[in-house]
Amino acid sequence: MNTNSLDSLTDFIGDIIVLGGIWFAGKPPDKKHPYGHYKAESLVTAIVGIIIIASATTMLYRSFISLYTGGFATPRRWTAFIALGSIAGCLITYFYLHRASKKYFSSALEAGAAHKFADALTSLAALLGILLSSFLKIRWGDPAASAIVSLWVMRTGIKIISRGGHELLDGAPDEDFELTVKRTIASIPAVEKIHSLQMRTAGGKVFAHIDISVPSELSIADAHIVAHRVGDVLMTKFPRIADVVVHTEPCDNDRRIEDEIIWKVRKILGEEDEIKNFHGIDALVSENGFIVVADIVVAPEMTVKNAHKIAQRIRDEIIKIENIADAIIHIDYTRDD
């Protein structure tokens, strides 16, 4: 019962702090805080966690003192109904705050909900203590139950502090949310590639910084339209996202095609048994397509005629590749790699 009374006081203090933090976090951005005041919730979350741990530590200490000295109090039986009412009230408040925290993406409300759930368990321990001491005459039941619940409450406080600290340090949201955001960005027309996606949390809200590639033939104005579209889609689909910054880069299609051509040329050269090595492969852009340049290394004793036959055979294979206008094969007789 002592445990439950002490926790009621910390409940009141914690609730005042949570309400104040939510009010302050809801203030609009200003010159000194251009990104808003969302981290006030993160700070409040950490403070509530500290209060819970302090309360749990005090409860644990008093329980041990009571067990050590044998100073057991026997509560009246009718107080069991008060404990039952407290459990019901805490659970109702917990479910309400939990739903509100999900709806408004509020870490402070989530901390408040976790605190109320811990209160319900504390009241349950008080009820168990009453039953043990008053009905079963086990006088040490109340402090023993309080000690056990104190450890659980302490664990809850550590989790809440961890959540608040994660947000204060600009921690990223969970991986599932990040994956869903990436899939949404990739589905938007004119987004060729996502170079990077950096997100940070603050008070349950998310701020995103995105680098994407758009078709290189787009005008600057059209690229800005794509960037705004990405931001609008994300903030509409995910109310949790408070702000999006999108940076666009031209998609280098020629570079992508060039890499694919070089890979195919390497494959052709690698399948040629009569050359000992190859190097200097490049794909040069021309008006009619790409011109491939490659150096092949043959055995020093090979005749010029045979070496040119090999070079011609390789050239014929290379120009079969799509987008190839010509191929120039240099023969190197001097290397013996």
> At 246, is the pLDDT very low, low, confident or very high (cuts 50, 70, 90)?
very high
CATH of domain 2-168: 1.20.1510.10
- pLDDT at position 7 is 59
**Average pLDDT value for residue range 258-281:** 86
Scanning the structure block, which residue is given the tokens 């040629």? Answer: 272
Mean pLDDT, range 270-276, rounded to an integer:
86
Assigned token pair, 231: 């931001």
10 Å Cβ neighbour count for 263? Answer: 10
288-325 residue pLDDT tens? 778 899 999 988 888 998 999 999 999 999 999 988 98
Domain 2-168 identical in fold to domain 255-332 = no
**Model confidence over 187-215: pLDDT tens digits?**
898 888 888 899 999 988 999 999 998 88
Convert 86-107 to b/e letters by CB count within 10 Å (16 or more is b).
Answer: bbeebbebbeebbeebeebbbb
Domain covering 175-251 in this structure, CATH number: 3.30.70.1350
Tens of pLDDT, residue by residue over 213-233, are: 888 778 888 999 999 999 999
Structure confidence by residue, pLDDT tens digits, 5-38: 555 666 778 888 888 888 988 888 888 888 889 8
Least confident of 140-154, 172-186, 304-318: 140-154
Rounded to whole angstroms, the Cα distance separating 218 from 268 reads 35
Instruction: Output the pLDDT for position 6.
Output: 56
pTM comes to 0.64
By the 8 A CB rule, do 319 and 326 touch? yes
| Residue ranges covered by each domain of the chain | 2-168, 175-251, 255-332
Span 98-122, pLDDT tens digits: 898 888 888 888 888 888 888 887 8
Q: Which amino acid is at 147?
A: A
Q: How far apart are CA 10 and CA 117, in angstroms?
A: 14
**Structure confidence at residue 236 (pLDDT):** 94
Provide the sign of the torsion angle of the four alpha carbons 121, 127, 133, 138, taken in this order: negative
Q: Which of 189, 188, 208 is nearest to 197 (CA)?
A: 208
3-class SS of residue 173: coil
Q: Is the pLDDT of residue 252 over 60?
A: yes
Task: State yes or no: pLDDT of 271 exceeds 60.
Answer: yes
Which CA distances in Å does 69 have to 6, 56, 144, 150? Answer: 20, 20, 13, 19
The confidence score (pLDDT) of residue 317 equals: 93
Q: Give the Cα separation of 332 and 337 in Å (integer).
A: 11
Mean pLDDT of the chain: 85
Architecture of domain 255-332: 2-Layer Sandwich (3.30)
